[in-house]
Amino acid sequence: MTARLILVRHGETEWSRAGRHTSTTDLPLTAAGEDEARALAPVLAELTVDRVLCSPRLRARRTAELAGLAAPEICEDLAEWDYGDYEGVSTPDIRKTVPGWTVWSHPVPGGETAEQVAERLDRVVERVRSSDGTTLAVAHGHSLRALVARWLDLPVAEGRHFVLDTATWSELGDDRGTPAVLTWNVGRRR
């Protein structure tokens, strides 16, 4: 396997800053999020990339634009996990009625199941691996964490182990034929 996958999480939005689950709500980046995205440009410019895929959401497309990634291909499969009834709600608020809830371990009423997320992200993995080059994907926190799990042939729930900040980049590839994380969560730190 010689394919590489560079993951870029979008810059900050009002809801990401507040810890509110954001999937289908098309929020813009905050001013800080736009600055974060611009700060990615010189780093990403140093990478050799064969193609750029991007979630259809405004926050991901704007991050790609500000980071200097011209004309990315919109990829519906990179959209954020559909949070259904939990759209706009924080984990602490959900846990008031569902103790211990996480997107990784519990159902999402009216949203996607882990199996549905795995199915669409498996299409991304297959597409990247069949390209034999370097693909850069701009997307979201949970979908990218789930994507790394699928890259490593793990269940989506194992994405819980890969904390991912806004406006960071990571790289997936292989180590002597075994899928591997090569670089993780590079950029701004909390």
> Of 36, 80, 87, 112, which one is the catalytic site residue?
80
Helix 114-131, helix 141-151: angle, nearest 10: 60
SS (H, E, C) 28-51: CCCHHHHHHHHHHHHHHHCCCCCE
Could you confirm whether 10 is annotated as catalytic? yes
Residues 90/96, Cβ–Cβ less than 8 Å: no
Other CB atoms within 10 A of residue 87 CB = 18
Locus of tokens 């959209």: 79
The residues annotated with a catalytic role in the active site are 10, 80
